[in-house]
């Protein structure tokens, strides 16, 4: 079964504090939404290493790009591309990133067409 | 007989030239005269020294053993007063005369003091030598208003250094914009905004008429009549070649000692190198061309004359963390045939300009983002034809790592601009000499011993090429905030910085990471005795939700059970809560309390409410527990009441953050049933006294605690523990356990600074502990006043099928 791609209204932007992430279950996805100050980004909540909750990580940067560090074993995931910025051995891995928009103070996430393989 | 070579000047250019001469294996008997008392050091790095990032040991280029190894006679602290080109002698100020066959003048330059009244007042300085830097560090500090005259490279670096030392700094600059010799007006104003954002005041277009004050400087008066206050003035208004010696000896001298392309002066057998020289009407102020001169001179003096010296396009980089400024070549677009390509982003403070002539790069200015400087320098030096790249001049296709890609460099490309070391030379050295550390690489090739801006590039080459690459022990906190922790602690304390973000913005890259954010959170907390602005986004998840995260993303809950003592009622509530929230396991921990494992984040607040017990801080870099034994109340051997004392100790210290977790124990006699001698702080009861021990460990390693003091009363024992506790909080590095801290400082020093410190020092330590304690509270009370969605599982506003 495939649902078509759609924007989903998630929550008021004030529910995601500055430089923090929050996890939300949407359809088959568990999405981690981050407030980077001035913009919001979203990636899969599950760390490609061992499934750690990325929404609980600390936001930082690598080579000028925003990242989150997984709270379990410190893998560093790029919040724009979903790629693994550290360790080098994880650089093949990747999490999905989602488009985010904020209108009227409401954060919306674009859920892609196909469901993730589970 | 060996030829005698005398060198006047023990600075960067002179000694670099001697290094080159040694490579030619010419057997000279070398004497180097230096009027500074120090061995050859990296003058460029005086800016990081002033900023507290480096110590003298870090900037030594050639230590005593180097002179000894090469049989060089070093006359340090000896100023040459005269040279006689006919008798072929140099005379030092103490009257000693030394004969030479050949002579190299490498006297460098001196700070230029503009004409103004009052320059002889005390409190007026220049910034040229290590002694200058040391004096500035000694005399600067919080509450001091400092003025720097000169807004060029040196002045701005001095200003930043003084600010880091705590001063309130104003830069006074004659020209209309900063660094006008390296930047155009737009670039200068971008830079000014950046400096001002860091808290440095900038006054451009100001000509100083007089330094005011009676004996000691108190302020500046400008020609326009305006005055400003300043208790300290640093003059950084340019340099003047040290050419008097040559002039007095009758050598040809204009502004500097005139040399030809082989660095020969007008007198036979006498050469000159470095900032004291003048070549084709040009004098110098940066090292890259001076090292080039050194190579040419070394060839000439050893009879290997090769190609002559020609001055390359100068390139300059500002060495202020977080302020990227790079400039090279001729960036004046008003010159005939020049066209400019620009990029500007005022919000981000980024300004880039390339000036092209005939389709080739003539000059470049970068402010706010200098990550591509190597590319531009290469284009500039190689004179590459850029016609095909016109579309990508300022926005190169992003490299894989987002920065400069060492792999893409050609072998002949320059890595170290200061010393002219190419990629090929570095790779060859790595292979040939089995180099695996930066220190070895520096030693072999001299790469990155100049301004240091190529360090990252050298490191990535090492990493890529050396099979046994060893990362140097990072002395700085992390890349985002590149200061050693000591320095950062001092900065935060003296500048009264109270939020993580303000530290990141003023002293770092504005962003931070998982290493520096929790560390700075701790530092601002302890420096302000808990009066800081708490920023939870900078804390590890455990400290956001006051529970320890587990491998499946659930949390563990460990209530405080002071001294390991509980009640049937508490145990009942624990049992009820364990059932109600379906905890996966109830476990007695190694710290005499109970762990409830596998709790969902959203259940935490209600569970705490049901437990009705305070947080045990089992998740935090904070006070864990005070273990106790049964002690004199019950035990037949007990000599002291360990339970009451342990509970009191826990009450006094609980809820506070510490550099790393802190574990304590109190035992009633030396049998030590609760293992106090392997705890961070332990109280060991004796007949009629207490031993207070610190720095013990029985975790990754085992270390028997050191005796801090033996005291008679329980009150004194508790106070000794408090003194050490607060001292550890204020002086340890973040993530440094007491066992490392005590080892690093030594118990003698710790005793002197705590229990044996003067009464007022001890009272102040205790006072700060008390203030922190008053501001602290049980973290689990946050259940009544949680932050936005702190414990809530957000549900989407729209239903999803
Ligand atoms: C629960 C407990 C084990 C138990 O079931 O008994 C425990 C569990 C953990 N210990 Fe421990 N330690 C526990 C007592 C100890 C003890 C014994 C003690 O405190 O007397 C030690 C040796 C003493 C010491 O601290 O040095 C101890 C030495 C460590 C170490 C090594 C510390 C060191 O520097 O040597 C770590 C790792 C670290 O901190 O870097 C660690 C880390 C951990 C962490 C927090 C790992 C982590 O970061 O997630 C474990 C959490 C498991 C979880 O999922 O909740 N734990 N751990 C104990 C909790 C005590 C409490 O009530 O708060
Ligand atoms: C704080 C600071 C930051 C700098 N940053 C940079 C940078 O980022 N990049 C860059 O390229 N350049 C930088 N420079 C400039 C660089 O340090 C100089 O270009 C370089 O040191 C010049 O080398 P030199 O050997 O000619 O002179 P010096 O290194 O000054 O050496 C000359 C030595 O000769 C001694 N001397 C002079 N007269 C006598 C005498 N009669 N008898 C005995 N000894 C004598 C002097 O005391 C001095 O020790 C910086 C300079 C300073 C002060
Ligand atoms: S420490 Fe001594 S007094 Fe205390 S319980 Fe052990 S044996 Fe008994
Ligand atoms: S699960 Fe994320 S780093 Fe291991």
Check whether residue B577 and residue B497 sit in a common domain. no
Check whether residue B593 and residue B508 sit in a common domain. no
Q: Is the pTM of this model over 0.95?
A: no
DSSP of B258-317: E--TT-B-SSTTEEE-STTEEBTTB---SHHHHHHHHHHHHHHHTT---S---PPPPEEE
Number of structural domains in chain B: 5
Per-residue confidence band for B800, with pLDDT thresholds at 50, 70 and 90: low
Q: What per-residue confidence (pLDDT) applies to A117?
A: 47
Q: What per-residue confidence (pLDDT) applies to B300?
A: 93
Reported as type and span, the H/E element at residue B109 is strand B109-111
Number of structural domains in chain A: 1
Q: Which chain B residue lies closest to A71 (C-alpha atoms)?
A: B541
Reported as type and span, the H/E element at residue B75 is strand B73-76
Nearest ligand to the C-alpha of residue B31? 2
Check whether residue B643 and residue B502 sit in a common domain. no
Intra-chain end-to-end CA distance of chain A, in Å: 13
Q: Is residue B182 part of a domain?
A: yes
Per-residue confidence band for B486, with pLDDT thresholds at 50, 70 and 90: confident
CA distance A20 to chain B (A): 5
Q: Is residue B43 part of a domain?
A: yes
Q: Which chain A residue lies closest to B801 (C-alpha atoms)?
A: A27
φ, ψ dihedrals at B10, nearest 5°:
-105, 35
Check whether residue B43 and residue B138 sit in a common domain. no
Q: Is residue A5 part of a domain?
A: no
Q: Is residue A6 part of a domain?
A: no
Q: Please tell me if the CB atom of residue B391 comes closer than 6 angstroms to any atom of ligand 1.
A: no
* pLDDT exceeds 50 at position B482: yes
Which of A66, A64, A51 shows the shortest CA–CA distance to A18?
Answer: A66
* pLDDT exceeds 80 at position B799: no
Q: Is residue B605 part of a domain?
A: yes
Q: Is residue A77 part of a domain?
A: yes
| Model confidence pLDDT, tens digit, residues B692-749 | 999 999 999 999 999 999 999 999 999 999 999 999 999 999 999 999 999 999 999 9
The shortest CB-CB distance from B513 to any of A53, A63, A69 is to A69
Q: What per-residue confidence (pLDDT) applies to B801?
A: 54
Q: Please tell me if the CB atom of residue A50 comes closer than 6 angstroms to any atom of ligand 4.
A: yes
Q: Is residue A8 part of a domain?
A: no
Check whether residue B533 and residue B588 sit in a common domain. no
Beta-bridged to residue B271, according to DSSP, are B104, B264
- Please give the angle made by the CA atoms of B320, B322 and B325, to the nearest 5 degrees: 65
Q: Is B501 strand, coil or helix?
A: helix
Final residue before a domain boundary, out of B494, B523, B539:
B539
Reported as type and span, the H/E element at residue B763 is helix B759-775
Q: Is residue A3 part of a domain?
A: no
Q: What per-residue confidence (pLDDT) applies to B384?
A: 85
Check whether residue B155 and residue B233 sit in a common domain. yes
C-beta contacts of B35-38 below 8 A and 24+ residues apart: B35/B77, B35/B78, B35/B79, B35/B80, B36/B10, B36/B11, B36/B76, B36/B77, B36/B129, B36/B130, B36/B131, B37/B76, B37/B77, B38/B76, B38/B130
Interface of A with B in 11-40 (CB under 8 A): 11, 14-20, 22-27
Check whether residue B799 and residue B680 sit in a common domain. no
| Model confidence pLDDT, tens digit, residues B376-413 | 888 888 888 887 777 778 875 544 443 456 777 888 88
Residues sharing a CB contact under 8 Å with residue B458, sequence separation 6 or more, in sequence order: B415, B416, B426, B438, B441, B447, B448
Check whether residue B646 and residue B764 sit in a common domain. yes
Q: What per-residue confidence (pLDDT) applies to A45?
A: 97
| Model confidence pLDDT, tens digit, residues B236-258 | 999 999 999 999 999 999 999 99
Query: Does B512 lie at the interface with A, CB-CB under 8 angstroms?
Result: yes
* pLDDT exceeds 70 at position A114: no
CATH number of the domain enclosing B716: 3.30.413.10
* pLDDT exceeds 60 at position B6: yes
This complex has an ipTM of 0.80
Encoding tokens for residue A67?
A: 């990242």
Least confident piece of the model among B187-191, B315-319, B733-737 = B315-319
Residue pairs between chains A and B whose CB atoms are closer than 8 Å: 96
Q: Which chain A residue lies closest to B798 (C-alpha atoms)?
A: A9
Domain residue limits at A76: 15-111
Check whether residue B646 and residue B770 sit in a common domain. yes
Q: Is residue A21 part of a domain?
A: yes
Q: Is residue A116 part of a domain?
A: no
Q: Please tell me if the CB atom of residue B693 comes closer than 6 angstroms to any atom of ligand 2.
A: no
Contact B125, B235 (CB under 8 A): yes
- Please give the angle made by the CA atoms of B558, B563 and B565, to the nearest 5 degrees: 80
Say how many Å lie between the CA of residue B108 and the centre of ligand 2.
5
Final residue before a domain boundary, out of B496, B511, B539:
B539
CATH number of the domain enclosing A25: 2.102.10.10
Contact B586, B574 (CB under 8 A): yes
Mutate to test the pocket of ligand 3, among B592, B634, B637 (most ligand atoms within 8 A of CB): B637
Interface with B, mutate which of A9, A53, A56, A88 (most B CBs under 10 A): A56
Domain residue limits at B209: 124-237
Q: Is residue A68 part of a domain?
A: yes
Q: Is residue B249 part of a domain?
A: yes
Interface of A with B in 36-95 (CB under 8 A): 50-53, 56-67, 69, 71-72, 74, 76
Check whether residue B768 and residue B798 sit in a common domain. no
CB contact (8 A) between residue B551 and residue A15: no
Q: Which chain A residue lies closest to B403 (C-alpha atoms)?
A: A63
CATH number of the domain enclosing B145: 3.50.50.60
| Model confidence pLDDT, tens digit, residues B265-278 | 999 999 999 999 99
Check whether residue B585 and residue B701 sit in a common domain. no
Check whether residue B639 and residue B784 sit in a common domain. no
**Cα distances (angstroms) measured from residue B731 to each of B100, B167, B506, B745, B759:** 54, 22, 22, 10, 19
């Amino acid at each position: 079964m495939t649902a078509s791609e759609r924007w989903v209204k998630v929550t008021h932007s004030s529910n995601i504090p500055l430089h923090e992430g929050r996890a939300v279950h949407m359809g088959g996805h568990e999405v981690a939404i981050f407030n980077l100050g001035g913009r919001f980004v979203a990636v899969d909540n599950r760390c490609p290493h061992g499934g750690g909750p990325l929404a609980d990580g600390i936001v930082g940067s690598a080579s000028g790009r925003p990242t989150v560090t997984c709270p379990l074993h410190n893998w560093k995931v790029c919040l724009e591309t979903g790629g693994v910025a550290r360790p080098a051995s994880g650089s093949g891995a990747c999490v999905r990133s989602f488009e985010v928009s904020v209108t009227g103070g409401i954060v919306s996430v674009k859920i892609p067409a196909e469901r993730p393989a589970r | 007989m060996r030829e005698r070579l005398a060198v006047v000047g023990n600075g960067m250019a002179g000694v670099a030239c001697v290094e080159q001469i040694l490579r030619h294996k010419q057997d000279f008997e070398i004497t180097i005269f230096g009027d500074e008392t120090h061995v050859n050091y990296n003058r460029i790095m005086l800016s990081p020294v002033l900023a507290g990032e480096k110590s003298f040991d870090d900037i030594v280029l050639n230590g005593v053993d180097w002179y000894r190894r090469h049989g060089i006679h070093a006359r340090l602290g000896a100023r040459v007063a005269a040279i006689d080109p006919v008798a072929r002698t140099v005379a030092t100020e103490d009257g000693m005369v030394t004969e030479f066959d050949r002579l190299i003048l490498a006297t460098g330059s001196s700070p230029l003091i503009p004409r103004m009244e009052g320059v002889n007042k005390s409190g007026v300085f220049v910034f040229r030598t290590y002694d200058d830097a040391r004096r500035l560090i000694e005399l600067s500090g919080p509450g001091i208003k400092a003025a720097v005259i000169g807004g060029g490279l040196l002045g701005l670096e001095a200003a930043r250094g003084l600010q880091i030392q705590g001063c309130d700094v104003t830069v006074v600059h004659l020209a209309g914009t900063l660094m006008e010799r390296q930047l155009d007006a737009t670039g200068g104003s971008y830079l000014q905004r950046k400096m001002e954002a860091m808290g440095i005041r900038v006054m451009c277009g100001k000509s100083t008429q007089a330094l005011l004050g009676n004996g000691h400087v108190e302020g500046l008066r400008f020609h326009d009549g305006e005055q400003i206050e300043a208790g300290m003035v640093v003059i950084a208004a340019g340099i003047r070649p040290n050419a008097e010696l040559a002039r007095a000896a009758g050598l040809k001298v204009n502004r500097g000692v005139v040399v030809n392309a082989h660095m020969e002066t007008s007198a036979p057998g006498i050469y000159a190198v470095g900032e004291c020289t003048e070549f084709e009407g040009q004098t110098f102020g940066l090292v890259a061309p001076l090292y080039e001169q050194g190579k040419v001179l070394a060839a000439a003096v050893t009879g290997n004359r090769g190609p002559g010296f020609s001055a390359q396009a100068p390139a300059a980089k500002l060495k202020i963390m977080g302020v990227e400024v790079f400039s090279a070549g001729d960036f004046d677009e008003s010159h005939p045939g020049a066209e400019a390509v620009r990029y500007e982003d005022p919000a981000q403070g980024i300004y880039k300009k390339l000036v092209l002539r005939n389709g080739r790069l003539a000059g470049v200015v970068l402010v706010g983002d200098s990550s591509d400087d190597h590319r531009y320098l290469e284009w500039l030096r190689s004179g590459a034809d850029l016609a095909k790249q016109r579309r990508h001049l300022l926005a190169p296709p992003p490299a894989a790592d987002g920065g400069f890609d060492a792999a893409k460099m050609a072998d002949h490309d320059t890595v170290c601009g200061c010393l002219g070391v190419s990629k090929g030379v570095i790779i060859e050295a790595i292979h040939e000499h089995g180099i695996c550390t930066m220190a070895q690489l520096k030693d072999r090739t001299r790469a990155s011993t100049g301004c240091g801006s190529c360090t990252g590039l050298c490191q990535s080459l090492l990493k890529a090429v050396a099979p046994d690459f060893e990362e140097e022990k990072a002395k700085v906190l992390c890349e985002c905030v590149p200061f050693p922790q000591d320095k950062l602690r001092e900065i935060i304390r003296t500048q009264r910085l109270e939020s993580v973000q303000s530290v990141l913005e003023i002293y770092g890259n504005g962003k931070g990471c998982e290493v520096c954010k929790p560390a700075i959170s701790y530092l601002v907390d302890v420096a302000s005795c808990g009066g800081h602005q708490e920023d939870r986004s900078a804390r590890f998840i455990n400290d956001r939700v006051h529970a320890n995260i587990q491998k499946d993303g659930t949390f563990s809950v460990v209530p405080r059970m002071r001294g390991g003592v509980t009640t049937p009622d508490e145990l009942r509530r624990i049992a009820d809560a364990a059932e109600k929230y379906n905890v996966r396991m109830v476990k007695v921990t190694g710290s005499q309390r109970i762990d409830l494992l596998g709790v969902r984040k959203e259940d935490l607040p209600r569970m705490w409410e049901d437990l009705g017990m305070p947080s045990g801080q089992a998740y935090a870099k904070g006070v864990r527990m005070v273990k106790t034994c049964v002690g004199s109340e019950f035990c037949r051997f007990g000599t002291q009441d360990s339970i009451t004392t342990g509970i009191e100790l826990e009450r006094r210290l609980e809820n506070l953050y510490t550099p790393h977790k802190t574990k304590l124990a109190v035992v009633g006699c030396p049998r030590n049933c609760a293992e106090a001698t392997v705890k961070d702080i332990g109280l060991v009861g004796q007949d009629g006294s207490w031993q207070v021990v610190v720095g013990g460990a029985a975790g990754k390693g085992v270390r028997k605690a050191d005796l801090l003091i033996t005291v008679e009363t329980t009150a004194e024992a508790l106070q000794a523990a408090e003194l050490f506790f607060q001292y550890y909080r204020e002086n340890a590095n973040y993530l440094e356990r007491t066992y490392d801290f005590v080892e690093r400082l030594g118990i003698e020093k710790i005793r002197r600074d705590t229990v044996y410190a003067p009464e007022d020092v001890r009272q102040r330590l205790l006072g700060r502990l008390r203030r922190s304690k008053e501001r602290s509270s049980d973290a689990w009370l946050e259940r009544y006043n949680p932050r936005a969605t702190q414990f809530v599982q957000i549900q989407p506003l729209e239903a999803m099928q």
